[in-house]
């Protein structure tokens, strides 16, 4: 079986690495022939909306998937009519527009922050008056890793926020005074078989995930999160990995956003679960039996952003596994990650503190 992946970033690369032991082969479509996926498969060079290149990809594979959300929905509908394209195009489209996404959450009775569309400064003033301040003004599309957002702390910030972002359709969301951020990764196969990983506790800085801890054991929150993902999966007749990031506020989950793909916060599963999210995504879209999502011990994942510390220092941390993406260093760019796996949460936390000190050295 040959799998086509639209996007050849680190997530696509890790999909291929998980698939090779299963006898799968991979072809990528990406603008850059030096993308991480080039290390493990052939790249068809082209933009994500290049109909001719997308058709070329579809012609040489059995199933098509993706590792990024900014693949134009209209561009992939033609190939989805010819070859299995999973997760479904409808899920991809919903995740690309924050207003569509939040509206869907509300329809499915998944709690969200209060929100309102913003297409003019007057809309912004009305939204802030109705929802209140503080709040966050966001671009509806193409926001990722903290980009396309402006935190409104006081009323005088509204004009600055509008000048900063007001050239595109926007959404204003009420600020959630959360105690922590968590994510749930679920996987559903073409046969309907569904499994969930344990919750991950995530720490962000400037909108970029810095590190995750898993499993985050909280039975009521796990139950809530699984219920919310199940509703989304049934709505889309989903196949593949689905991730939803939540705020935790007073024992209740509030959905922030979804990603219809493998996710950075699930990188810990490579060494920390019986079956990684990457392998299970491939099993799901091929209709193969899903693997166990049971955690192996206690794990943490640390992103290396902008620079990678000394490899010697990284590898002397107990229980560490290092993954480089083969990217050139650049500010705010994810260059690699480490997974820590330990037999106890105390051992994991000690190793995590040691690794974070190395990261900052």
242-279 burial string, b = 16+ CB within 10 Å, else e?
bbbbbbbeeeebbbbbbbbbbbbbbbbbbbbbebbbbb
Note down the domain range covering 39.
2-85
What's the N-to-C CA distance of the chain in angstroms?
Answer: 45
**pLDDT band at residue 70 using 50, 70 and 90 as cut-offs:** confident
pLDDT, tens digit, 9 for 90 and up, residues 299-324: 999 999 999 988 998 999 999 999 99
Instruction: Please provide the average confidence, as pLDDT, over all residues in the chain.
Output: 94
Rg, Å, the chain Cα set: 20
Residue 222: CATH number of its domain: 3.30.470.20
* Adjacent-strand bridge partners of 190: none
Whether residues 190 and 320 share a domain: the answer is yes
303 neighbors 209 (Cβ within 8 angstroms): yes
- Say if residue 268 is in the same domain as residue 130: no
Q: What is the pTM of this model?
A: 0.95
Number of domains in the chain: 3
Give the pLDDT confidence score for residue 48 in this predicted structure: 93
The answer to whether the CB of 140 falls within 8 A of the CB of 171 is yes
Give me the mean pLDDT over the 163-184 stretch: 94
- Per-residue pLDDT of 90-103, as tens digits, reads 999 999 999 999 99
The alpha-helical segments, DSSP class H, found in the chain are 10-19, 51-59, 73-80, 89-95, 98-107, 121-131, 157-165, 219-236, 269-272, 277-285, 311-315, 345-360
Q: What is the pLDDT of residue 145?
A: 58
Residues 207 and 152 grouped into a single domain: no
The answer to whether residue 144 scores a pLDDT higher than 80 is no
- Please identify which residue in the block is written with the tokens 């992946």: 5
Q: Are residues 167 and 184 in the same domain?
A: no
pLDDT tier, 146 (very low <50, low <70, confident <90, very high otherwise): low
**Is residue 78 one of the residues assigned to a domain?**
yes
3-state DSSP: the chain helix, strand, coil percent, rounded to 5? 35, 30, 35
Question: Which is more confidently placed, 147 or 122?
Answer: 122
The pLDDT value given to residue 360: 54
Question: Residue range 332-358: average pLDDT?
Answer: 93
CB atoms within 10 A of CB 321: 18
Q: Domain of 157: which CATH number? A: 3.30.1490.20
Co-location of 159 and 243 in the same domain = no
Q: Which of 157, 174, 191 is at the close of a domain?
A: 174
């Amino acid at each position: 079986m040959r799998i086509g992946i639209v996007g050849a970033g680190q997530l696509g690369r890790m999909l291929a690495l998980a698939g090779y032991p299963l006898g799968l082969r991979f072809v990528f479509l990406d603008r850059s022939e030096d993308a991480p996926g080039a290390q493990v498969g052939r790249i068809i060079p082209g933009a994500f909306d290049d109909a001719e290149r997308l058709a070329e990809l579809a012609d040489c594979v059995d199933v098509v998937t993706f590792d990024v959300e900014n693949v134009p929905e209209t561009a992939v509908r033609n190939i989805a009519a010819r070859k299995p394209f999973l997760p479904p195009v409808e899920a991809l489209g919903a995740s690309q527009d924050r207003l569509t996404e939040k509206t869907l959450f509300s329809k499915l009775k998944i709690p969200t922050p209060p929100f309102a569309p913003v297409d003019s400064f007057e809309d912004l003033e009305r939204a802030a008056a109705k929802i209140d301040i503080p709040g966050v003004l966001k671009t509806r599309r193409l926001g990722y890793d903290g980009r396309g957002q402006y935190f409104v702390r006081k009323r005088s910030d509204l004009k600055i926020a509008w000048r900063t972002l007001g050239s595109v359709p926007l959404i204003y969301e009420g600020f959630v005074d959360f105690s922590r951020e968590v994510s749930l990764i679920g996987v559903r196969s073409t046969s309907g078989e569904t499994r969930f990983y344990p919750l991950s506790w995530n720490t962000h800085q400037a909108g970029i995930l810095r590190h995750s801890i898993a499993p985050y054991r909280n039975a009521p929150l796990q139950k809530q999160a699984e219920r919310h993902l199940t509703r989304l999966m049934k709505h889309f007749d989903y196949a593949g990995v689905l991730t939803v990031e939540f705020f935790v506020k007073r024992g209740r989950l509030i959905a922030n956003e979804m990603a219809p793909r493998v996710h950075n916060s699930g990188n810990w599963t490579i060494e920390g679960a019986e079956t990684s999210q990457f392998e299970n995504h491939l099993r799901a879209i091929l209709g193969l039996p899903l693997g166990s999502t049971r955690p192996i011990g206690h794990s943490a994942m640390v992103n290396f952003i902008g620079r990678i510390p000394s490899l010697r220092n990284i590898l002397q941390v107990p229980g560490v596994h290092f993954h480089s993406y083969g990217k050139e260093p650049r500010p705010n760019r994810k260059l690699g990650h480490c997974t820590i796996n330990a037999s106890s949460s105390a051992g994991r936390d000690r190793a995590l503190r040691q690794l974070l000190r190395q990261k900052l050295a």
